[in-house]
Structures are given as structure tokens and as C-alpha cells.
């Protein structure tokens, strides 16, 4: 029964005219703008956060399917959430995590077959990259071409499964920019801290001055 629920949901969102096939997932496509993705998913602006602004803009959008309206269940969607990452305004990576309850009992083979209804027959991972009890996360199947890689992964404790879809060349550029951004953030942290401390000290002085002026005006000998 659970397999049927997951299969039905995946087929419902399967791209009909995707080219290339692997770049599409649930109505969005790698390379889409942030505005296009937000419109497609009906996402709120509050769900977007900035990861880095320098050397280039990297943003992240977290989206979860709506499950209830006025206390009524809407859908038995196996998806828990999607995290979409954008570099200079373009979608580079889609990371979907499935709801543990919705995939409970499904084997790795079940998941490969179900995802395969959209992407075709999976490439099996090597023993070095396959899931194992000692690994935090293991690959249990993959699809793709030179431009795009789709990875089906699982975690053992607690049991979780998900799908990551990446524009490979764009992801390399994004990851390089993120690494530079981390370094710049670390280098600029002392200066930012000094600015914040100075602003806080100035706010205290201003507040004390306001209190002094108010008390002086109200004071009666």
C-alpha cells in the first residue's frame, strides 16, 4: 500500500516533456530563477534565506507540501521537504527528503524502482559508496548525464531517504563561491563584531540621554 502511495505521487509529478529529463523535479527545473520556482511551488518569501552575498549571491529556499487545510488531510504526499539552492539567481541543486512514515518498510530496491518510474533504470552504486550501517549517508542509486546528476540516498539511524538533483558544472562554481564566502565571513567577523559592539554602545548612550532628558523635564524640586 505504501509503495502505491509513493509511486502514485511520483508519477503525478513526473515531467511530461522534460529535456533533459534529469533536470526536472515536481514542476521546477535546474536553471530556473528564484521567482519562477517560488511561483511554481507557491512558496512564501519568508522561506528564502541568504547563505552568502559575497563573492556571489547564494540563496536557499525550503518548501514543504501542504498537508492540512482546516484540520482536513489534503494528500498523503511522501515528501517531507525540498531544499532548493540558487547561485546568482539560478537553481543549482534540489535536495528532497521523504517523510519517514510514508516510506517506512520500503527497501532500497523498492525506492530505486519507484524513483525509476520517473528517471529510468538506476545505476547501482559501487561497494565503496553504497549505504552501510557505519556510514551517515549512503548512495543507493543514481541517474544522470554529463550535465545533471540525480542521487538517491538513505540514512540508517534514524532511517531517512531522499533525492538530490544537481547541475554539476554550476554546482562546482557555487561550491567554490561558497568556500570563498566562508573565508571572507571569517576574515570580516572581527570587524563586524566591532561594528555591532559600537552600535550597541551608541544605543545605550542614546537611551541614557533620552532618559536623562525626560527625567530632567519632569523633575520637580
Cis peptide before 175 (omega within 30 of 0): no
* Residue range 171-196: mean pLDDT, rounded: 77
Q: Is the pLDDT of residue 203 over 70?
A: yes
pLDDT at 216: 80
pLDDT at 192: 61
pLDDT at 143: 93
pLDDT at 189: 58
* Three-state DSSP state, 11: helix
% the chain with pLDDT above 70: 76
Show Cβ contacts of residue 80 under 8 Å, excluding neighbours closer than 6 positions: 64, 97, 98, 99, 100, 102
Q: Is the pLDDT of residue 3 over 50?
A: no
The region of weakest confidence among 33-37, 129-133, 199-203 is 129-133
Q: Is the pLDDT of residue 186 over 80?
A: no
The domain limits of the chain are 2-174
The region of weakest confidence among 111-120, 143-152, 191-200 is 191-200
Q: Is the pLDDT of residue 91 over 80?
A: yes
pLDDT tens across 54-74, in order?
899 999 999 998 766 556 655
Q: Is the pLDDT of residue 32 over 60?
A: yes
179 exposure class (CB count in 10 Å sphere: 0-12, 13-18, 19+): exposed
* Residue range 193-208: mean pLDDT, rounded: 76
String of DSSP letters for 15-27: -SS-SSGGGEETT
pLDDT tens across 138-174, in order?
899 999 998 999 999 998 777 889 999 999 999 999 9
- C-alpha 125/C-alpha 140 separation (Å) is 6
- C-alpha 141/C-alpha 118 separation (Å) is 13
pLDDT at 74: 59
The region of weakest confidence among 105-114, 127-136, 139-148 is 127-136
> Higher confidence at residue 8 or residue 210?
210
104-124-149 Cα angle (round to 5): 90
Amino acid at each position: 500500500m505504501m509503495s502505491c502511495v509513493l509511486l502514485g505521487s511520483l508519477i503525478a509529478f513526473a515531467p511530461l516533456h522534460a529535456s533533459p529529463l534529469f533536470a526536472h523535479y515536481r514542476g521546477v527545473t535546474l536553471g530556473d530563477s528564484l521567482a519562477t520556482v517560488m511561483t511554481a511551488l507557491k512558496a512564501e518569501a519568508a522561506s528564502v534565506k541568504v547563505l552568502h552575498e559575497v563573492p556571489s549571491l547564494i540563496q536557499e529556499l525550503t518548501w514543504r507540501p501542504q498537508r492540512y487545510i482546516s484540520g482536513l488531510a489534503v494528500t498523503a504526499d511522501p515528501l517531507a521537504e525540498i531544499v532548493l539552492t540558487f547561485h546568482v539567481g539560478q537553481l543549482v541543486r534540489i535536495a528532497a527528503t521523504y517523510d519517514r512514515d510514508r516510506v517506512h518498510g520500503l527497501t532500497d530496491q523498492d525506492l530505486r524502482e519507484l524513483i525509476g518510474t520517473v528517471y529510468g533504470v538506476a545505476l547501482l552504486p559501487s561497494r565503496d559508496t553504497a549505504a552501510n550501517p557505519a556510514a551517515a549517508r549512503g548512495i543507493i542509486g543514481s541517474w544522470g548525464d554529463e550535465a545533471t546528476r540525480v542521487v538517491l540516498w538513505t540514512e540508517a539511524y534514524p532511517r531517512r531517504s531522499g533525492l538530490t538533483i544537481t547541475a554539476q558544472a554550476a554546482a562546482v562554481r557555487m561550491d567554490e563561491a561558497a568556500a570563498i564566502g566562508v573565508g571572507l565571513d571569517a576574515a570580516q567577523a572581527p570587524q563586524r563584531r566591532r561594528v555591532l559592539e559600537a552600535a550597541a554602545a551608541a544605543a545605550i548612550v542614546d537611551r541614557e540621554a533620552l532618559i536623562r532628558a525626560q527625567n530632567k523635564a519632569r523633575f520637580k524640586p
